[in-house]
């Protein structure tokens, strides 16, 4: 508790796009509740903040920290450790922190490949063939940038995490509910869910929330969404041959994408009880394919040109294997 008697709140981003922060700001009036019930001590997107103040705080003095973004470099890792030390409850907030999200697809490439793509691109003018240096001697002295790690890691691969809040970003109404819950907990009107729980999301799959009709029909092939002249507005997309990730994805968003005519790309991460997101999705897709003939199955699978991307779009860093083999080559 701080001098004004209110518990302390912090929010931080590591390797993040900032959408999570925007989603919190988009809760609108809820921000005022946060302000009324908490002493916001550290929240870079919304207020001037001092790192040294965080460092100076007693350990465990922040009641609640929402941490978004994955761990891409040295600086992200240092901040994760610092905030873990200072916080009682630390939430992995959003897909990046929970499971690595889209930036986790970088775990299919080596650092060298990433640097080559960026610093040797078609418009790059780089006669000295520079790559980023963690330390550079300039005429006036030495300057530093944080070290880029060979893989992107999820937050719980670096520190202990108390709760997980999935979504890319979590939907604002879900964030609002979580804020309400925490405020009730502070006032002794509710108790916290068990440690390690997923909060601010549902317990089933996006398919369960999806209003599109499913007939448990099997398919003879997959289609790319741009190749379909007219989508059936009411029928399950997967049954129309569009690789929709709904069957493996946790509910919570209200099936926004399928309702807008687009496939679920899986941003809410693995559904309850799923050990490996991609594995569950592979099982689901395998069930829907209508063929028992190896040659024909292979032909159908050719219509899914990027299985690793399809099955691990948001979840590669958080999957059982977490990265590709060449990434580990020294």
Partner 1 sequence: MSEQFEPILVGFTCNWCSYRAADLAGTARVKYPPNIRLIRLMCSGRLDPAFVMKALAEGADGVLITGCHPGECHYLEQNYKALRRFLLLRRTLEQMGIEPGRIKLVWASAAEGVKLAHEINTMVEEVRAMGPLNWPKRWESNGFHATVKEQEQEVTA
Partner 2 sequence: MQKISIDPITRLEGHGKIDIFLDEEGNVANTYFQIPELRGFERFCVGRPVEEMPLLTNRICGVCPEAHHMAAAKAADAVYKVDPPPTAKKLRELLYSGFFFTDHTTHFYALAGPDFVMGPDAPVAQRNILGVIHKVGLEIGGKVIQARKFGHKIVEIIGGRKIHPCTSIPGGLTKGITEEERKEIEEMGRWGVEFALFSLKLFNDIVLGNKEYVDLILGDIYTHRTYSIGLVDERNRVNFYDGMASVVDPEGERLGKYATPEYVDWIAEHVEPWTYLKFPYLKKVGWKGFVDGMDSGVYFSTPLARLNAADGMATPLAQEQYQKFYETLGGKPVHQRLATHWARLIEVLYAAERIVELSTDPEITGRDFHRVPTETPTEGVGTVEAPRGHLTHHYKTDERGILTEVNLIVGTTNNYAPISMSIKKAAENLIKKGKVVTEPMLNMVEMAFRAYDPCFGCAAHTLPGQMPLKITIRDAKGETVEVVKQYCE
Q: Which of 106, 206, 274, 317 binds ligand SF4 (CB under 6 A)?
A: 206
Site string for partner 2, 79-118 (x = CB under 8 A): x---------------------xxx-xx-xx---xx-xxx
324 belongs to the binding site for partner 2 (CB under 8 A): no
Neighbours of 188 (CB within 10 A): 7
Contacted entry of ligand SF4, partner 1, partner 2, none for residue 268, CB cut-off 5 to 8 Å set by kind = ligand SF4
Of 131, 128, 101, 98, nearest to 113 by C-alpha is 131
> For residues 61 and 74, which CB has a smaller minimum distance to partner 1 in the complex?
74
Q: Select the span of 46-54, 177-185, 187-195, 207-215 touching partner 2 (CB under 8 A).
A: 46-54
Contacted entry of partner 1, ligand SF4, partner 2, none for residue 181, CB cut-off 5 to 8 Å set by kind = none
Q: Which of 41, 91, 168, 198 binds ligand SF4 (CB under 6 A)?
A: 168
121 belongs to the binding site for partner 2 (CB under 8 A): yes
Of 258, 279, 277, 280, nearest to 268 by C-alpha is 277
What are the b/e assignments for 243-257, b being 16+ CB within 10 Å? Answer: bbbbbbbbbbbebeb
Residues with Cβ within 8 Å of residue 133, at least 6 apart in sequence: 145
Residues with Cβ within 8 Å of residue 178, at least 6 apart in sequence: 165, 199, 200
> What value, to the nearest 5°, has the Cα angle with vertex 205 and ends 243 and 272?
120
The torsion angle over the Cα atoms of residues 205, 169, 8 and 190, rounded to 10 degrees, is -20
The interface with ligand SF4 within residues 28-67 (CB under 6 A) comprises none
246 belongs to the binding site for ligand SF4 (CB under 6 A): yes
Contacted entry of partner 1, partner 2, ligand SF4, none for residue 123, CB cut-off 5 to 8 Å set by kind = partner 2
119 belongs to the binding site for partner 2 (CB under 8 A): yes
Lookup: tokens for 248: 């493996």
């Amino acid at each position: 508790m701080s001098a004004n008697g209110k518990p302390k709140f912090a929010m931080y981003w590591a390797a993040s796009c900032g959408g999570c922060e925007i989603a919190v700001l988009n809760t609108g009036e809820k921000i005022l509740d946060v302000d009324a019930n908490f002493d916001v001590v550290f929240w870079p997107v919304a207020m001037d903040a001092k790192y040294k103040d965080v460092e100076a705080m007693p350990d465990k003095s922040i009641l609640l920290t929402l941490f978004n973004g994955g761990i891409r470099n040295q600086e992200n890792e240092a901040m994760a450790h610092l905030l873990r030390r200072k916080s009682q409850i630390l939430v992995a907030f959003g897909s990046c922190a929970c499971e690595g999200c889209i930036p986790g697809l970088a775990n299919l490439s080596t650092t060298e490949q990433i640097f080559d793509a960026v610093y040797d691109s078609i418009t790059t003018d780089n006669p000295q063939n520079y790559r980023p240096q963690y330390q550079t001697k300039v005429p006036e002295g030495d300057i530093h940038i944080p070290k880029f790690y060979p893989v992107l890691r999820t937050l719980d691969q670096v520190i202990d995490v108390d709760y997980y809040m999935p979504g890319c970003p979590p939907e604002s109404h879900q964030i609002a509910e979580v804020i309400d819950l925490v405020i009730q907990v502070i006032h002794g009107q509710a108790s916290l869910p068990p440690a390690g729980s997923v909060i601010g999301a549902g317990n089933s799959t996006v398919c369960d929330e999806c209003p599109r009709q499913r007939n448990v029909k099997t398919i003879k092939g997959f289609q790319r969404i741009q190749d379909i002249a007219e989508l059936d507005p009411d029928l399950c997309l997967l049954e129309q041959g569009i690789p929709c990730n709904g069957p493996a994805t946790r509910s919570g968003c209200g099936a926004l994408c399928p309702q807008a005519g687009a496939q679920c790309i899986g941003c809410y991460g693995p559904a309850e009880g799923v050990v490996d997101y991609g594995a569950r999705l592979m099982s689901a897709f395998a069930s829907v394919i209508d063929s028992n003939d190896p040659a024909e199955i292979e032909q159908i699978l050719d219509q899914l040109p990027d299985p690793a991307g399809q099955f691990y779009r948001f979840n590669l860093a958080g999957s059982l294997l977490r990265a590709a083999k060449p990434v580990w080559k020294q």
